[in-house]
Amino acid sequence: MQDSKILKEKIHRINNKGYKAYQDLKGEYDFGHYQLFIDHVQGDPFASPSSLRVRVRQNRAKFPAAFFQDKPRKIALCDYLARCFDQAVKKFCAGNRGTGKSGLIFIDAGQQQVLERSAIIINSDYLEARFFCGLPARGRTVLGNVAQTMFFQELPKIVDSSLLYDSVNQKELTEHVYLAEDQEFIRESLPEQGLVAFIADGSILPRRSGVSDLPLTRGVIPFVSPPSLKVSFKTPNHGEIKGMGIPEGVTLIVGGGFHGKSTLLHALERGVYNHLPADGREWVITIKEAVKIRAEEGRRVEKVDISPFINNLPLGQDTRRFSTENASGSTSQAANIIEALEVGCKLLLIDEDTSATNFMIRDGRMQALVSKEREPITPFLDQVRPLYEELGVSSILVIGGSGDYLDVADQVIMMNEYKPVDVSREAKDICQKYPALRTPERGRGFGKMEPRVPFPGSFDPQRGRKTKVGAKGLDVVQFGRYQIDLDDVEQLVDPSQTRAIADIIYYAWKKYFDGSRSLSEAIKCIESDLDQYGLDVISPYKEKNGAYARPRSFEIAAAINRLRSLEIR
C-alpha cells in the first residue's frame, strides 16, 4: 500500500493532461487514519463514475460489536452508516465542478426501506464504505487542483464525521438498529400467532404523493385497530406494541372509494421490508413470503401450469404447460400466481382495481348466459379457499364491487374514512340474508407444483460481441439483447435491487442453470450463497460493487420468468 503522498504527487503530475491519465491513480493508499482504494477509474467524465473504497480499522472506528452481532442489527447499522456518509457528502463536498459528473461524490444510501446493501461492510477488523466519485475535468482535461481538494480536504472530513462511532449520533444509531431488530422480531413472530400481517396503532399509511414514498404530514388520520382484531407483541427493545393483526386465511378489505383500501394494501405489500424510524410504516409488518399479484397484459409466459385457473382453451392449447408471447389479463394473472407459489409464496395480496375482472369473478347471470363448458376460466373466487385449505396460502384482497367474495372470507375489514372496522359478522349476516345467485365453480385441485427447469441455452448475455448485463432504473433489466420489463413487479422498491437482479441472473446462468436444477432450486442456491458470502458473490468483476441492494427471491424469479428468451424444459 502506497503512502497518500504518492497519490498527491500523481495528481500533480497528471494535472492538465488528457482524462485517461486518471488511470494512473488506481491503487491503494494509506492516509494514516484510513486506507483509500481506487478500484475503477472512469474512462470519460460522462461515463459511469469511478469506484472507490475507504477502510477504517475498528481500533479507530470503535463501533461496538453488539451493533453487528446478528444479521438484522448488522443490516441496520450498515444502512445507517451509508446514510451518515451521504449526509456528510452533502455537507462537505462542493458538488459538480467541471464536465459531466466531475466533482461529485455519492454513496448508495437508500430511501425509506432498510435493505441489505453492499455500500457498507463491517466486521470486527474494519469498517469499509464503498462510494463513487466523478473525477473532475474541464472538457476532457484533468482538473488536478479539484481532484486534490476532493481527496485531501473533502474526503477526510466525510470519513471523520460519518464512519467513527464517536462522531455519529449514537442515540439515533441505537434507535435505528433496535427498531430494525424489533421489526424483524415481529415478522418472525407472526406465524406463531396465526397471523400474516400486523399494523400498529398510530401508523401513518398514506404517502405524500403517487411519486413520493415519504409519509403524508397534513390532514393524516393515524391507524387504529378494531378491538376484535387487536393483538400485541412484546418486542426486545420497544416493549409492547399493539395494533391490528390480520389472521391467516382469506381477508377482504372493503369500503367506499377513496376511503383507504388500496392505501392499506400498499402498506402491507411494503411491509415485507423494514422501514426507517418516523416513516409511519415502521410497525407495518408482513410475512416475508407475501407477493403482490396483478394482471399484466402483454407479458411473456413460458410453460406455466395455469390449469387450476384456466382450462379448455380454444384450439386445444395446453394450459398445464401454458406459453404465450402476449398474455391476456387473465392468463397473466394466473401465471403470476403460479410463479409466486413456485418459489414459496404464502400470502397473496390482490387489488380488484389492478386485476382482470373475468379472472376474479363470474356472477350468476354470466354463468347462466355462458355455461361452464364454454368458459375456460375458473375464477379466483372459487380457488381462493382451496389455496388456503390445500396449500396453506392466505390471501388479502381489496374488493370494492364484488359481494360474492363475502361468501369465502374469514374476515372482512371495512375502511371507513381511513379507519378500519371489523365487519366480518355483518358480512356473514348479509350472505345469509342475500344468498349468492352464482354456482361455485371448481377446476382441478392445485396438487403438487411441477418443477420448471430452465434451459441454459436460453440465457445469452451477449449483445453483439459484448456482454450486456445491467439495469436501467427501477423497472428494467438488460440481459443480452433483451430488456426485462419489471414495471408491474410492485414490491421492487430500489434501483439497486434491480442492479443486483441483473447480475444474479448472469451468476445463476453460469453456476446453477445447468439443465437439471429447477428454477426454485436454483434460486434457493443463490439465496444460500448470498447468505454465506454476501452480495459481493454475484459481481462479475474483481472490483467490489457498492451499488447492490438485496432483492427477494420472488422478484428474482419474476425477472427470470419475464425474460423473453427463457425456455423451460
- % of residues, the chain, pLDDT over 90: 90
pLDDT surpasses 80 at 391: yes
Kind of pairing between the strands at 120-122 and 126-133: antiparallel
Sole residue written with cell 388500496: 262
Cell numbers given for 44: 470519460
How far, in Å, CA of 175 to CA of 105, rounded?
28
pLDDT surpasses 70 at 74: yes
Q: What is the DSSP string of 25-67?
A: G-EEEE-SSSEEEEEE--SSTTSSPEEEEEEEEHHHH---GGG
How far, in Å, CA of 90 to CA of 456, rounded?
46
CB-CB contact of 244 with 168 (8 Å): no
| Geometric angle at alpha carbon 447, from 188 and 376, rounded to 5° | 115
- What digits encode the pLDDT tens for the residues 538-551? 999 888 899 999 99
**Cβ neighbours of residue 211 under 8 Å, at least 6 residues apart?**
none
- % of residues, the chain, pLDDT over 70: 100
> To the nearest 10°, the Cα dihedral for 508, 514, 518, 522?
-30
Alpha helices in 464-516 (DSSP H): 495-511
Q: For 116, how many CA atoms within 13 A lie in the half-sphere containing its CB?
A: 17
Cell numbers given for 490: 410492485
pLDDT surpasses 80 at 444: no
Kind of pairing between the strands at 250-254 and 411-416: parallel
- What digits encode the pLDDT tens for the residues 405-424? 999 999 999 999 999 999 99
| Mean pLDDT, rounded, for 124-143 | 96
CB-CB contact of 343 with 327 (8 Å): no
How far, in Å, CA of 441 to CA of 203, rounded?
39
By three-state DSSP, how is residue 232 classified?
A: strand
3-state SS of the chain: helix, strand, coil percent to 5?
35, 25, 40
pLDDT surpasses 70 at 328: yes
pLDDT surpasses 80 at 146: yes
Least confident of 147-151, 192-196, 308-312, 389-393: 308-312
415-424 as b/e: b if 16+ CB within 10 A: beebbbbbbb
- For position 163, what pLDDT does the model report? 98
By three-state DSSP, how is residue 150 classified?
A: helix
Residues in the chain: 569
Cα-to-chain-centroid distance, residue 64 = 29
How far, in Å, CA of 451 to CA of 453, rounded?
6
- What digits encode the pLDDT tens for the residues 247-298? 999 999 999 988 999 999 999 999 999 999 999 999 999 999 999 999 999 9
How far, in Å, CA of 306 to CA of 342, rounded?
12
Alpha helices in 105-226 (DSSP H): 144-149, 155-162, 170-189
pLDDT surpasses 90 at 522: yes
How far, in Å, CA of 502 to CA of 507, rounded?
9
- What digits encode the pLDDT tens for the residues 461-506? 999 889 999 999 999 999 999 999 999 999 999 999 999 999 999 9
Least confident of 194-198, 539-543, 555-559, 565-569: 539-543
Q: At residue 547, what are phi and psi to the nearest 5 degrees?
A: -120, 30
Least confident of 178-182, 307-311, 369-373: 369-373
| Residue 368 vs residues 93, 309, 363: alpha-carbon distances, Å | 71, 20, 9
What angle do the packed helices 155-162 and 71-92 form, to 10 degrees?
140
Least confident of 24-33, 439-448, 510-519: 439-448
pLDDT surpasses 80 at 316: no
- For position 443, what pLDDT does the model report? 67
- For position 312, what pLDDT does the model report? 81
- Give the confidence band of 245 by pLDDT, cuts at 50, 70, 90: very high
- What digits encode the pLDDT tens for the residues 178-236? 999 999 999 999 999 999 999 999 999 999 988 899 999 998 999 999 999 999 999 99
